[in-house]
Structure 1
Amino acid sequence: MTGTDTELEAQIAEWRSYMLRRKAISEADVDELEDHLRERVGDLTESGLKPDEAFLIAVKRMGRMDELSREFAREHSDRLWKQLVLDPDRDAAADTERRRGLLVMIACAALGVIAIKLPALFGLGFDDSGDFYGRNIGLLVLAPLAVYFAWRRRLGGAAIGVVAGLFAVGAIANNAYPFDAESQSIVLSAIHLPLLLWFVVGIAYAGGEWRSGQKRMDFIRFTGEWFIYLVLIGLGGGVLTAFTVGVFGAIGVDAEVFISEWLMPCGLAAAIVVAAWLVEAKQSVIENMAPVLTRVFTPLFAVTLVAVLVAIGVTTNAIDVERDMLILFDLLLAVVLGLVLYSISARDANAGPGVFDWMQLALVVSALLIDVLVLIAILGRITEWGLTPNKSAALGENLILFVNLAWTAWLYVSIIRRRKRFAVLENWQTGYVPVYAAWAAAVVLLFPPLFSFA
């Protein structure tokens, strides 16, 4: 195979990968379309065009890909609904693999339930041991998820060792440090340990290939869809809880203990794994949910942030830098970056700038200005009262967010002015993910001894 043929095959592989992500288009449909594409490319190359030129012209003549997806969605709408069924027609090998995956999911969900209830055997009940569960809830519910992906990705021994070792380090540090019950460090660890362990789960999800930018983007996509499923399961669990209380109350039985000690904690532990399994099982149907929600909420958040900036300017009130408010603002900035990430994940990297890119730029710039105001407020409090674990963590997190938002805004300006390709922004975001993981690790492992466990 010549270098030209290799390049053509790479282009076709990229086109095929893109088409397979379209809802309502099955692999068989893509096979058929690929045959047509190859025929057109062959005809064009015989007429004297180079293979890469022939490929571009052939794709263009077949119609825009988004239009093709919509056409298939109209013509095969029944297939879209059939994809939602958990037991579609498959060949024997695929059916066996699906059943094995289902059994592993059930086993890992059960492992999560056991993990969340096992401490009760040592007198650490879910209701009366808030300190223990506050420290360890991330460990207890995310370890089974890491086990699930270790099986799913056929993780090698070295990668398993890394994942298990990082979980062990988090468990030891979070429980061996001599925290005072009123210390700020214990709260910071309880917040940042689940975040750190989520990145460790990402190593298992990526099959150990965490250095791959594409694998990181896949994990970002997974995170969004997993969160959506988890919320939906949580809403269903809320309905189930309400019915449980009502039905048992009607016969004079108080179900409060059952709900607080069993239904809620066990349901949460199982839902963590079940949501991941649903994303994996129905990825072809549901993978566009996060980007669709991004389209809805980007303008809403942009308007909200602009309104906040206007209110601050009119009232001249400084931003409250107490811990709860700092967490709220950091979550807000994280949501903004999430909206950027999920718009990136679904955007055609070769498409030109459009109105939505201007909306994203407005959103990022508004978030950047708010972050600057938060940083000014934090620095003012540090100058007045000195460093504390809370203020130091907030300062570091907002500086990390500031760097990301500032460079993201610059890249959006360059993209809109057609000076940079959109892929540069995607590479920046996926390359920045380890910074968050490193900071979470620093807060969990280094902050407690640095501040004398205060």
Structure 2
Amino acid sequence: MSTPDELESQFAQWRQYLQKRPELRKSDADELEDHLRGSVDELVGAGLRADEAFLVAVKRMGSLDDLSREFAREHSERLWKQLVLTGEPDGPAASRSRRDLVAMIVCAAGAALSIKVPALFGMDLEHDIAFYGPNIALFVLPWLAGFLAWRRQAPKPLIGALLGLFVLGAVAANVFPLGDKSQTLVLTTIHLPIALWFAVGLSYVSDDPRSPRRRMDFIRFTGEWFVYCVLIGLGGIVLIAFTFGTFKAIGIVPETFVGQWLVPCGAAAAVVVAGWLVEAKQSVVENIAPVLTRLFTPLFALGLLAFLVAVGVNGHGIDIERDALILFDLLLVVVLALLLYSISARDPLGPPTLFDTLQLALVVCALAIDVLVLVEIVGRISEFGTSANKAAALGENVILLANLAWSAWLTLGLVRRRKPFAALESWQTSYLPVYALWAWLVVLVFPPLFSFQ
């Protein structure tokens, strides 16, 4: 028999799901919960156990997705109102929202000012790329991490660890004698933002760092943050166009202001603003990334399959010069991102679908391309010797190969109904630290290992 506490725990969990739906107000949730409790009491009176009655009652009510769609049809204006930046007029939630807003403004202003600090020492974004390249993430990501750590009320030891990671990144970017045209400078410029983004992730999960669920939440946060950054960037382009047009109409060309102040400061501040929007408007646009995933998964699967067929017909080897290596690594990362965001939005108890089969095809095609690239890299290293770029590409492709190979095996088991979805989700969240460790390895070990060349 279920205890009253266990039944109340089930009700609490069900209500948490309701509260994540932007279409449902508190009064809606109260009404639905009253209806659910009445159904449970009726079923218990008919002789069912409390846990059985709860499951049957929830099933009768229908899925939360169906309920949300119904409320969305009735009250579509609510979603627009939730995008307004002001919070509720009264209550603790409004006070917290105002504090978050103030903290965001402080951190966004700090990021915008930080990007201009080097100008005090005569440096310029256009001419000092060798400095700004590896340092760009150090100007903005500490402010985003600080905002998230403040919002999560991160413990002092974790704050100390965050400071240590950012200091370590600053040392790697500025103490190492990286040449202006060296391969290690390019590798640091690419990998340091990745390493520091995982530091941002540490601040995001600071309330429960060991939880796989919180790691998956950070994956969702990353996708939603990217979507907001793109939207803010598109709005920024419109703002710049209007700024040029209106000032030019009165005989002023604001090229210096736009290039030296508006663009860099606006972009730096947008990194923090996007993070705040994700936190403040959770679940309002959280389905954008999964929708894009469902759109592009079959397209990428067809594209990769066509590429593999072309390789077989043409018989031409893959060019693995630096630009091509970056392109193929980005391709594999995109495939991995498509897999991650489909996992984050999938019903963990749902049966296998056609989309799972499409994902399996996508991952298998990516695996085949990864193997082809690895064969070419090993062949070039054997013939011409290693370099920083080739060693980094080799390591990254091996790491991606391991992840994608096991993901393909688990997805195959899911499609064949022999493995649970939880195994695939757990594998991805457990593998995240591997990427962080590799990024730090490239930043800290590769430059001295390859004599800063």
Displacement of 1:424 in angstroms is: 1.2
Matches within 5 A, 1:108-127: 108-127=107-126
Q: Distance in 2 between matches of 1:5 and 1:192?
A: 52
Displacement of 1:4 in angstroms is: 4.2
Residues 340 and 27 (structure 1 numbering): CA distance in 2 closer, same or farther, change over 3 Å? farther
Match in the other structure for 1:381: 380
Match in the other structure for 2:312: 313
Q: Residue by residue, what CA displacement relative to the aligned partner does 1:99-126 show, whole Å, maximum 9, x if unpaired?
A: 2211111110100011100111111222
* 3-state secondary structure, aligned to 1:320: coil
8 Å CA contact retained: 2:381, 2:390: yes
Q: Residue by residue, what CA displacement relative to the aligned partner does 1:11-49 show, whole Å, maximum 9, x if unpaired?
A: 334333333333412343223322322332233233332
Displacement of 1:175 in angstroms is: 0.9
Q: Distance in 1 between matches of 2:382 and 2:13?
A: 53
Aligned pair count? Answer: 453
Q: Distance in 2 between matches of 1:435 and 1:313?
A: 33
Matches within 5 A, 1:146-161: 146-161=145-160
8 Å CA contact retained: 1:82, 1:88: no
Q: Distance in 1 between matches of 2:8 and 2:282?
A: 25
Give the fraction of aligned pairs with identical amino acids, expressed as a percent: 61
Q: Residue by residue, what CA displacement relative to the aligned partner does 1:387-410 show, whole Å, maximum 9, x if unpaired?
A: 111011101111111111111111
8 Å CA contact retained: 1:305, 1:363: yes
* Structure 1 letter corresponding to 2:108: A
Displacement of 1:88 in angstroms is: 4.8
- Cα RMSD (Å) of the superposition? 1.7
Residues 4 and 385 (structure 1 numbering): CA distance in 2 closer, same or farther, change over 3 Å? farther
158-167 or 37-46, larger mean C-alpha shift: 37-46
Displacement of 1:134 in angstroms is: 0.7
Matches within 5 A, 1:296-335: 296-335=295-334
Q: Distance in 2 between matches of 1:92 and 1:8?
A: 29
Q: In the alignment, is residue 402 of structure 1 matched against residue 398 of structure 2?
A: no
Q: In the alignment, is residue 285 of structure 1 matched against residue 284 of structure 2?
A: yes
Match in the other structure for 1:258: 257
Match in the other structure for 2:335: 336
* Structure 1 letter corresponding to 2:184: S
8 Å CA contact retained: 1:202, 1:210: no
Q: In the alignment, is residue 195 of structure 1 matched against residue 194 of structure 2?
A: yes
Q: In the alignment, is residue 29 of structure 1 matched against residue 52 of structure 2?
A: no
Match in the other structure for 1:186: 185
Match in the other structure for 2:75: 76
Q: Distance in 2 between matches of 1:322 and 1:432?
A: 28
* Structure 1 letter corresponding to 2:133: G
Q: Distance in 1 between matches of 2:329 and 2:297?
A: 17
Residues 399 and 12 (structure 1 numbering): CA distance in 2 closer, same or farther, change over 3 Å? farther
* Structure 1 letter corresponding to 2:194: L
8 Å CA contact retained: 2:44, 2:53: yes
Q: Distance in 1 between matches of 2:215 and 2:113?
A: 30
28-37 or 144-153, larger mean C-alpha shift: 28-37
Q: Distance in 2 between matches of 1:380 and 1:7?
A: 61
8 Å CA contact retained: 1:389, 1:451: yes
Q: Residue by residue, what CA displacement relative to the aligned partner does 1:321-361 show, whole Å, maximum 9, x if unpaired?
A: 11111111111111111111111111110110111111111
Matches within 5 A, 1:87-166: 87-166=86-165
Q: Residue by residue, what CA displacement relative to the aligned partner does 1:128-169 show, whole Å, maximum 9, x if unpaired?
A: 221110120011111111111121111111111011111011
Residues 368 and 376 (structure 1 numbering): CA distance in 2 closer, same or farther, change over 3 Å? same
* Structure 2 letter corresponding to 1:282: K
* 3-state secondary structure, aligned to 1:179: coil
Q: Distance in 2 between matches of 1:379 and 1:357?
A: 33
Which consecutive unaligned segments of at least 5 residues does structure 1 have? none
Q: Distance in 1 between matches of 2:6 and 2:335?
A: 37
Q: Residue by residue, what CA displacement relative to the aligned partner does 1:191-223 show, whole Å, maximum 9, x if unpaired?
A: 100000000001111125322111111111011
Q: Taking structure 1 as the reference length, what is the TM-score of the superposition?
A: 0.96
Q: Distance in 1 between matches of 2:298 and 2:224?
A: 20
